Amino acid sequence: MNDAFTITDEQQDYSQYDLSENPFPYSPVPAEDPEIYCGQPHVTEKISSTVSSMLSTGKSKHLVVTGKYGNGKSHTLKYTRSLLRDRNDVVVGYVAQPGEGFLDIYHEFIYDLGFNRLQGLAYEYLASVSRDVTDTNPSDASAMESLIDEGDVLLSEIVPEAVRRLSDVTKFADFARAIVHMVYEDTNLYAWQWLTSEGIRYEQRKEMEIHSALDDDTMGVRAFTALKNLLLDLGYTGVFVFVDEFESIARLSPKTEQATLNSIRHLMDQNSSGLCMLFGCAPEVWQDVMSEYHAFSERIGQEVALRPLTAENLFDLVEDYLDRERTVTESEGSVRPFTEDSLELILQRSQGNVRQILSVCSRMLDEAAVEERADITTDFAEEFF
């Protein structure tokens, strides 16, 4: 029997550091809803200003956040999304990377919203129509769904008017029919597939009286604009779109890259209100976009750069992570078991890169615990490196 491996589920004891567990991620990738954000003031101010402008005025505003790999672009976008997600007056969608063109951005955005949210919007719209054309007064999507389920409102009473109104609002009759079909048990999956641009058979489209296929960038821009117009008609302030890893457009062919940027530009041009797009992009790619595609970059106009962490940033970051797992309140607000000197060394070796810092801190804390060291000193950190 090979005993070279020692695999065990025994948990490491961090109580000597007043910690319940190692608070640093082993794989330093941003959580879906980050609880900790070590903000650089110039970045948080710029993002706050952009987001607040859209919320307060309804006018569209966009921003690109640049930074080298590991400096926190994804974390910044996801943290901002988490701040907006619970608001009732906006819809927020995250796109992990732009894919092969705008249709992929649209597809990922709709998928991030999810089937239930889109179906809820359909019920919400039917509720607004039902209040006008029936004696009922559904206050929200769930009330509308109950009225339909209990037979108090027949879909045949309200759907023709809903399609007519929604077609006027969205200027896209096929989109209107697809939204309304999200409430039909027999066709809601077909409607979802069409709305996500996954493609459905002609017979399935015919069943919903949808004549076009949502299968290219132009149709994606049209569908996205239709969705935003639907939301504004329902009283929402607007839509927030977070597009991460925008630098991946650089691997597209020049023709496809230009087509993608043109589609986003058209989206911005067609939506002067109710739209806020935040991009995460590597600085070198953004510089190329700025120099080669003026029409696109001018639509955004604003850029803010994430810089490598300073010593002050690092101390705040480490404190925040440690405090999350502190078992003794007296220990909160300190960087123990790290010493300030050892953190300075970590900062120097990682060149202020957040991803590397979190990874190093995680592994260093584990090793110190195994060796039962009282503190993570500069000497220990030197040995570790």
pLDDT tens column, 127-158: 999 999 999 999 999 999 999 999 999 999 99
Residue 244 clears pLDDT 80, i.e. is over it:
yes
Band of residue 296 on the pLDDT scale cut at 50, 70, 90: confident
Confidence of residue 100 (pLDDT cuts 50, 70, 90): very high
pLDDT of residue 208: 93
Q: Tell me how crowded residue 327 is: count the other CB atoms within 10 A of its CB.
A: 12
C-alpha–C-alpha distance, residues 272 and 276, integer Å: 10
Measured at the CA of 53, the angle between CA 64 and CA 275, to 5 degrees, comes to 65
Mean pLDDT, range 287-310, rounded to an integer: 87
Given a cut of 90, is residue 86 above it in pLDDT?
no
Residue 6 has pLDDT above 90, yes or no: no
Per-residue confidence (pLDDT) for residue 202, from 0 to 100: 92
The C-alpha atoms of residue 301 and residue 5 are separated, in whole angstroms, by 56
In the chain, pLDDT over 70 holds for what percent of residues?
Answer: 99
Using CA atoms, how far residue 256 sits from 30, 104, 105, 357, in Å, is: 29, 12, 14, 37
Mode of pairing for the β-strands spanning 61-66 and 303-305: parallel
Q: What is the pLDDT of residue 118?
A: 96
- More confident call, 122 vs 35: 122
Reported for 122-127, long-range contacts at CB under 8 A and 24+ positions apart, including other chains, are: 122/179, 122/180, 122/182, 122/183, 123/183, 124/234, 125/162, 125/166, 125/179, 125/180, 125/230, 125/233, 125/234, 126/158, 126/159, 126/162, 126/180, 126/183
d(CA 124, CA 341): 57
Amino acid identity, position 82: S
Kindly indicate the confidence band of residue 197, based on its pLDDT and cuts at 50, 70 and 90.
very high
Return the higher-pLDDT residue of 296 and 83.
83
Asked if 17 and 375 count as a contact pair (C-beta separation under 8 A), the reply is: no
Q: Which of 92-96, 350-354, 369-373 has the highest mean pLDDT?
A: 92-96
The answer, yes or no, to whether residue 277 has pLDDT greater than 60, is yes
* pLDDT higher at 209 or 297: 209
pLDDT score recorded for residue 165: 97
- Assign residue 72 a region (left: φ > 0; alpha: ψ between -120 and 50; beta: otherwise): left
Q: Which helix (H) or strand (E) holds 269?
A: helix 254-270
The pLDDT assigned to 1 comes to 54
pLDDT of residue 4: 76
Instruction: Give the pLDDT score at 68.
Output: 87
More confident residue, 297 or 251: 251
Residue 150's alpha-carbon distances to 133, 144, 146, 154, 155, in angstroms, are: 18, 10, 6, 9, 12
pLDDT higher than threshold 70 for residue 2 = no
Give yes or no for residue 65 having a pLDDT over 60. Answer: yes
Question: Which stretch, 1-15, 172-186, 285-299, 322-336, has highest mean pLDDT?
Answer: 172-186
Kindly state the average pLDDT of the residues 180-185: 96
349 phi and psi angles, rounded to 5 deg: -70, -30
- For the chain, helix, strand, coil in percent to 5 are 55, 10, 35
* pLDDT-wise least confident of 7-11, 19-23, 91-95: 7-11
Which is more confidently placed, 372 or 244? 244
226-252 average pLDDT score? 95
Name the least confident of 104-108, 144-148, 197-201. Answer: 197-201
What local confidence, expressed as pLDDT, does residue 130 receive? 96
- Collect all residues with Cβ–Cβ distance below 8 Å to 363 and sequence separation of at least 6: 26, 384
User: Exposed/middle/buried for 55, CB within 10 Å: 0-12, 13-18, 19+?
Assistant: middle
More confident of the two residues 385 and 181: 181
Distances in Å between the Cα of 219 and the Cα atoms of 60, 99, 104, 113, 212 are 21, 16, 12, 19, 9
